[in-house]
Chain A
Amino acid sequence: MNKRSITGILAGLFVIAGAVSAGAADKPLLLKNGNILTISGGTIQGGDILIRDGKIAAVGQSLALPAGAETIDLQGQWVMPGIIDSHSHIAAEGDLNEMGDLMTPEVDIKDVLNPEDINIWYALTGGVTSVHTMHGSANPIGGRGIVLKLRWGVKSEELIFAGAPLTVKWALGENPKRSNMQGPGPAHYPQSRMGVEASIRNEFELARDYMRRWDEYNNKTKELGPAKKPGAVLPFPPRKDFRLEVVADILRGKYLIRCHAYQAEEMLSIMRLCREYGVKLVCFEHGLEGYRITNELVANGVANSTFVDFWAYKWEALQTMPHSAALMAKRGVLVALSSDNAERMRRLFNDAAKTVRFGGLSELEALKTITINPAKILGIDKWVGTIEAGKDADLAVFNRHPLDPFTVCEKTLVDGKVYFDRAKVLDDRKKAEDEKKKKETEAKKPKEKSNGGEV
């Protein structure tokens, strides 16, 4: 395969996609004759999906074709809700770990979005339609993440999943300890798991104090009222601290908290801390020992965004097994399978299938780990995650059942628009290769002629 011609086509796609999104007026689209894995309402054999204005207008059998609608005959292919990756690092520019300080909640992935990251395109080829992009895990309270829709070819602000709640990422364990990235010089604080937790507690206290100072100022201002008494000393506002503003908003419950953690003990401990401060923890990231504390996860309502068979890459990630995800799901934990990696992102459906093999999840429960479950964790389940009338037309089409080991993603739609069409890509690629060959042969011809002339 010729690399240049492939990338050439991708460049073309980028430009074309950009052009299409500019002109908005979409015709209704009818996907006909597919096996529809609705997730919320069973599987519809030989079903149709009608898409209007980027939303699913109707799902069922033998839907009427509205006037002016386009049709795609799926010929018995499988349709599932677009895959949602709740833990990723794509489409962002620059270093995604702020190593310069311990607490950095003031940083925001929204400031560094890169809509030209080729991994957006690659993710689409694996049926992924939404991702949660975050910074790394070097800081106990790191910064703010963002949910994106993979509209390849648009500007960064158009990538953002409108209405998705704001998220903040925390991290526990070896990474915020910087165990594997210690420079020369004195040891970095914190050096222990106790220290990591203490640093979060300390930040909460700083934020409480900060909130108290602002409350005092606001109350004094209010007391004075709009008509200021002559001679009254106006209160002076405290300094605005962008770091503590975010921590204060964490305490106020404004953010969905995502917490990178591996070990059961540190997960139990941070859940206790959150209860103490009234902070709602939404989800553990990786949480490889989650299977050991399923009762506590359920009791605290904390989800787990985990891997199925990826572990032992460092000592804190040793104590797990591929059955962990299934065991947690069976015990009532909200489980999502996430990629953490642009390559794994393209085959999350394979990972979902492994929960059937390891731990015996039903096919439906397995598919939920990459659709409605991450949607719930991200607070976007009213728009995506299942195939239902009224939801966004974010869909993935596979030639076989998506949990079949030999399945291939054929089409990916976001907001009812086909962003990836495998047949078309292969066709374009072939055309480009033929074009190149033609050019090369043409380039050779006159050379032979002129040589002939000289002889």
Chain B
Amino acid sequence: MTKAARSLGSLMVLGLALGIFSGSLKAGQDLHKVWAIRNAKVLVSPLRPPLEKATVIIRDGLIEAVGANIAVPPEAEVLDGTKLLVFPGLVDALGAGLLKIPEEKYDASKIYSGEYTDKDRGITPEFRAFDYVNLGKSTVEKYHKLGITAAQVLPDRGIFSGQSSVFTLGNGDKNRALLLKDACLGIGFSPAGLPIYPGSLMGVVAYLRQSFSDARYFDMNADRWQKEMKGFPRPKYNPQLDTLSGFAKGTKPVVFFCKNQHDIKRAIGLAEEFKLAYFIADVGGEAWRVIPELQKAKARVLCTVSFKAPMTSFLTKLGKEERERAEKEVYPKNPAKLAEAGIPFAFSSLGTDDPKSFLEGIQKAIEAGLPGEKALEALTTTPAAFLGLDRALGTVEAGKIANLVLTEADLLAKEPKVRYVFADGERIELKEAKATEGEKPTVNVSGRWEITAEDTPKLTVDILQEEGVLSGKMTTPFGVFDFTGGSVSGNQIDFEMNISVGGQQIDLYFSASVEGDTMRGTVVQGSQGSSEFTGKRIPG
């Protein structure tokens, strides 16, 4: 059997195992292609007054029509929007919350003996966020609760952190959810803190300078050879410089992770020296300290909302009391000051623990003087324009991707009450905060379980329950896969994982109710559909 045939065979075995390809598609799955939201108040754009009693038609993942007097197509499923507000889906301009990067320990003895890798130095331009994104249902749901339906994903680490990807946050299939791949290159001023080059901040700046210069030189050399193969020596290929070259030429943007105001100035300096297209990720929240510089450079800022005073800040040096005061009174004004100065900025969730604290941060910024519509702009139209996606995202307009948020109250209110989100035209209903949610577990599912779906071989799942949180792994013929999340509420459990079969990534989401040593529920596989399963605890 050829390798390709073998892997196809394995895929089919798993398909069978989970009952996915065996025609057990649940009725109704994937059928709602056409939606009509009627009688809703629609905020088409944060820059315009809302439409009252308007209709939004969604077809095949796109917004087909928006307006007051729009006929509802007969095939549409109607959603009564009488009490609802419709907003454009929010965009997280830059975050790391959707990444699941396996933890790697470095070997200090290797570093001292000189056997270190570029990874140890924090130099991983070839890292692609696309390969490590986790769009599992329970993870994405946290974003939906706050109305976030698209996000740019990239880790803030090291010197060259890697390349970002932008996704819509709907169905868990990242291939379908992808908007932009390898969009931005992340650059940080963070040396590894080891005696390897560059080991100091000043060394990092020098290293970046040399890298941009080398990438352009590499490019020039390769170009020259393409033109003059005859008589011109062929340059040696270098994958790292090849990756950097598009960014060094300024055809693709870089994003500088700036821990403080000085990093921002360093970033602007480097960007101007090498004529880079760039964003300032204001991780330190100190853009307000360098407003004239940002204005002069016409810089675009990705504004964070953790409002922690950086270590270098004068206000930090004054002691705990002054620092805490500054974090309460001074730093939250950063977004308001940027808005006032007319500096384009989008909100970034970097530095916040989860989507919830991201929204809380934005609310703090509003309390500190940022006008609500400016906040909404920084979550819709501005990030869309920054990413070059303004024709697809950011407003509720015909032709754009149907990323919408339906709420019962203002989206940026303390209790946003998001009822539905549409992501890529797919409706996701959000449970109201019911009593069951966060309910104390009434079962303990720790142990080994045997899971059976319709007409399938058995799968083994090992579960560890700690209070309401589940962790564990599933053993399959293709390998062992760890849970990417899981929880228990009452006797309801859910857990999810991302498995890899024949080079394909598949998200699985299990939910079940448990009684004693048996469980019964459904497993959803990305967009493919769902099937029933039962589980039995194996004693011992």
Residues of A within 8 A of B (CB): 3-4, 7-8, 10-11, 14, 92-101, 104, 106-109, 111-114, 116, 118, 135, 143, 156, 181, 183-186, 233, 236, 239-243
Contacts and interface: CB of A to CB of B under 8 A. Distances in A.
Contacts of B269: 111
A114 B217 CA distance: 32
Given A11-B318, A95-B200, A185-B109, A239 B217 contact: yes
Q: Chain B binding site: helix, strand, loop or mixed by DSSP?
A: helix
Given A8-B322, A107-B206, A98 B262 contact: no
B201 interface: yes
B266 A111 contact: yes
Listed from nearest, the 8 A-B pairs whose CB atoms lie closest are: A94-B201, A100-B197, A185-B112, A100-B199, A95-B200, A185-B113, A111-B205, A106-B206
A156 B112 contact: no
A236 B195 contact: no
A112 B318 CA distance: 21
B196 A112 contact: no
Contacts of A239: 214, 217
Contact-residue bracket for chain B: 35 or more
30 contacts: A92-B202, A94-B191, A95-B200, A96-B202, A98-B206, A100-B199, A104-B197, A106-B210, A107-B200, A107-B202, A107-B206, A108-B202, A108-B206, A112-B201, A112-B205, A114-B262, A116-B312, A143-B202, A143-B206, A156-B262, A184-B109, A184-B112, A184-B113, A185-B109, A185-B112, A186-B113, A233-B232, A236-B224, A239-B217, A242-B210
B113 A112 contact: no
Interface string B95-132: 00000000000000100111000000000000000000
B262 A93 contact: yes
Q: Chain A binding site: helix, strand, loop or mixed by DSSP?
A: loop
Interface of B: 109, 112-114, 191, 194-203, 205-206, 209-210, 213-214, 217, 221, 224, 228, 231-232, 262, 265-266, 269, 312-315, 317-319, 321-322
A4 B321 contact: yes
B490 to A, nearest CB: 46
Given A3-B319, A4-B319, A94 B202 contact: yes
B326 to A, nearest CB: 10
Contacts of A118: 314, 317
Contacts of A96: 200, 202
B238 to A, nearest CB: 12
B289 to A, nearest CB: 9
A183 B112 contact: yes
Contact of B191 (A92, A95, A143, A183): A95
Nearest to B225: A236
Nearest to A99: B195
Nearest to B203: A98
A111 B113 CA distance: 30
Contacts of A108: 202, 205-206
B196 A100 contact: yes
Contacts of B266: 111
A250 to B, nearest CB: 16
A94 B109 CA distance: 25
A11 B314 contact: yes
Contacts of B319: 3-4, 7
Given A94-B191, A107-B205, A186-B114, 7 more contacts: A100-B198, A100-B199, A101-B197, A107-B206, A184-B109, A185-B114, A233-B232
Nearest to A135: B202
A198 B202 CA distance: 25
A95 B201 contact: yes
